[in-house]
Amino acid sequence: MPEVNVNGVQLCYEEYGSGEPFILLHGLGGDHHMFENEINELKKSYWVIALDSRGHGRSEKVPHYTLEDHVQDVIAFMDHLNIEKTSLLGASMGSYIAQGVAVFSPERVKQLILVVAKAFGKTSSTVRLQEEHADELKGLTEEEQMYALSKYIFHKPEMVGEWSQRVDVDVPVLTPEQQIAAQKALENFDFRPLLDRITAETLVISGRYDGLNPPKDGREVANLIPNARFVEFEHSGHAPSVEEPERYRQVVTEFLNRS
């Protein structure tokens, strides 16, 4: 993987296709592999750059960092690659980072796609869900806990599980300490007072059965961004690109063609 040093941290990324830049920002604990479907479609028309955020994937694992660090990493990464303006697609944690980039550098974001998003949080959504179901999770390992919670996170957990096993083959596993650092970076953020600064054409996608970032959270984001479009996927949870891939491809393609 190519890598760059920005803000004192080594970040790894993959790039595909050619044309106008399109940066993909993954979710908590994941890496660029989660965008297999998006990459295969977008690389036909764009220079697609799938970034491993700090503390994730093959990027450097630093002990402490914040959501603001993630946001500034993307801006510095764009500077390093001489990208003046880009489209952004962020999923879950990546949608928080994308919001931050679009808020603090609105002139540098052309199109914005926020998947299973929320605009604020006291903790990561994963920690909040674990706390809500603490009695059910007693005595379980971290892996067993996530399996038990999958019924609250996805509408089609078996489908998402099969997909995850296939794409996660080469994904470095975070240590417990690295997982805690990644979760702490998502504590106590609130973009709600700032979202009206966003000037990019914006699409917000939520899944009806998402127990991490439910549709009300995505709808709130869309309501606070000028002229944003909100779409709720009726048969999805936290992974609409996997649970309803054809509709997801259609909705994203139509948005990009309109913008």
Q: What is the CATH classification number for the domain harbouring 92? A: 3.40.50.1820
**Domain region containing 242:** 3-258
Question: Mutual orientation of helices 142-153 and 125-132 as an angle, nearest 10°?
Answer: 90
Instruction: Tell me the two tokens of residue 77.
Output: 């990464």
Percent of the chain with pLDDT over 90: 94
Low-confidence stretches of the chain (pLDDT < 70) are 259
Number of domains the chain is built from: 1
Mean of the per-residue pLDDT values of the chain: 96
Which string of b and e fits 126-147 if b means at least 16 CB within 10 Å? bbebbeeeeeebeeeeeeebbe
pLDDT of residue 44: 96
Residue 259 is predicted with a pLDDT of 64
Per-residue model confidence (pLDDT) at position 143? 86
CA distances for 246 relative to 50, 203, 230, 250, 251, angstroms: 21, 17, 18, 6, 9
Note the pLDDT of residue 158.
Answer: 94
